[in-house]
Structure 1
Amino acid sequence: MKTGCIARTKRRLRRAAAVLAGVSILSVFGLNGMLSARSPAKGARDTGASEEAAIPAVDWKAPDPATIPRGPLGESIRLGLNIITNTPKYASRYVGNRMNCKDCHLNSATQAWASPLAGITTIFPAYTKRDGRVITIEHRIQECFERSENGTAPPSNSPEMVAIVAYMNWLSKGIPMGSTVKGRGLLRLSAPAHVDPIGGATIYAQQCQVCHGANGQGVAGMFPPLWGAGAFNDGAGMSHLDKMAAFVKANMPKTGPGSLTVQQAYDVAAFVTQKPRPHFRPPAPSSR
């Protein structure tokens, strides 16, 4: 009897350890940093290390849209792709600005170090620090609409929501459960000792203004607004200095991605993030 009790106790302990390990893995992912909005750790190197550095990373290649299947599922996947690339047109009921999902999730959400959406659905439901609880992928997408799109949350069973999840699942085909992809999330940078938004204004004028405009208004259908009424609100991930700097460092300017130093990326991000933008108003819990 004692031997049997000891064996059962050991099995319970092993199962508990496995559960805790899984929670630890899930807690570090981000969707625009997609789950937890964790700030980069001090001392992190500018070597392309992501926030998911401890998670096994696999090589991944974006699938060819020509391989999207025919039939109802394929139609939903294509709608999801269209929503990502032209959000105000294909999800107009839920958008409150001029932003597209692809403005932050570059190249139809497939570009490394620009929060690609491959593999995201394999880690939900998951705990997020921002929510302080376990949420579904649908809930997380709703938050993107409320913050980055400055709009309202699509219902979980809406055609738009189903389509976005279908597209994300299609992107994720072949990615093992519990694994990440190389280039996932954003770069992990060491913040400089001092940030200079005035110097950032000069960098903006030299490197960014040609696309995003002198007043950050962008060009409709081509380049997103960075501040003002048409931009993401102050609850969006990109309104945070570390997120903006990491995105800029890896992906901007379009004519020479990665050409800015970490200091320059932080300075221009400081200039942009201090500009006026819509204020995030948390929705009532019953609205979802």
Structure 2
Amino acid sequence: MKLLRYGPHGEERPGLLDAHGTIRDLTGVVADIDGAALAPASLARLAAINPATLPAVDGAVRIGACVARPVNFICIGLNYADHAAETGSPIPKEPIVFLKSLGAYSGPYDDVLIPRGSVKTDWEVELGVIIGTTARYVPEAAAMDHVAGYCVVNDVSERAFQLERGATWDKGKGCDTFGPVGPWMVTRDEVADPQNLAMYCDIDGVRMQDGSTRTMIFNVRQIVSYVSHFITLHPGDIIATGTPPGVGMGKKPEPVFLRPGQTMTLGVAGLGEQRQAVRAA
């Protein structure tokens, strides 16, 4: 099942994508694609609905972030062995955890703004994990029970802000529009193996990232368990699980960064595709 939110900024409505690619309106069935809607009983109820009985939505409508604004937007850094290698970084012994500002949270087709003073804005296609039930001190064996589904995340990053302006990454990760999410959430039952998903990112039609979740250092089960020992995970929270190689800062012989007027197109197998125009803030 593919769940999404559509409509103008701040006025998004709940919907699902049927097998023919038509958006179906869930207004009146659930209030939003939020924590309550992602509970196991709620997802079972939604899965039992015949999509053809729901009103069709104009396909030209804006698609928003696939879940309502979360309590936590969590990211895992340097979680792909081949990405760590391209940046010259050692393999982490434990997951690197940081929080992305909720001000960055945006839709999959919304413009991405290069912040003022930026010289090194970069792209990162990532597998997003969406939490369905509260997770606190969860053992690895039970971690997947707390996952509602998966989505595409673009962890847009300003590398100079991230790496050259002090010891924390947050300044380079939390700028407005730096967290496109969606276009939809695919429920966990439809993703046979989250550790075997192809992923890509193109800039102006040129393939920059061409990777797979197979090269994750810490898998989804380990990440959910690990994070839950430090941060309580709430229904609707999102964990972006790291990026494969091909980011701009890792390009040889010289790094390559985003410029106004460019377009990012990125996706994860079975989870849909994002597309963002890049412009100056």
Tell me the TM-score normalised to structure 1 length.
0.25
Q: Which has the larger radius of gyration?
A: 1
Give 1 or 2: higher helix fraction. 1
Which of structures 1 and 2 has the larger relative contact order (alpha carbons within 8 angstroms, sep 6+)? 2
Give 1 or 2: higher strand fraction. 2
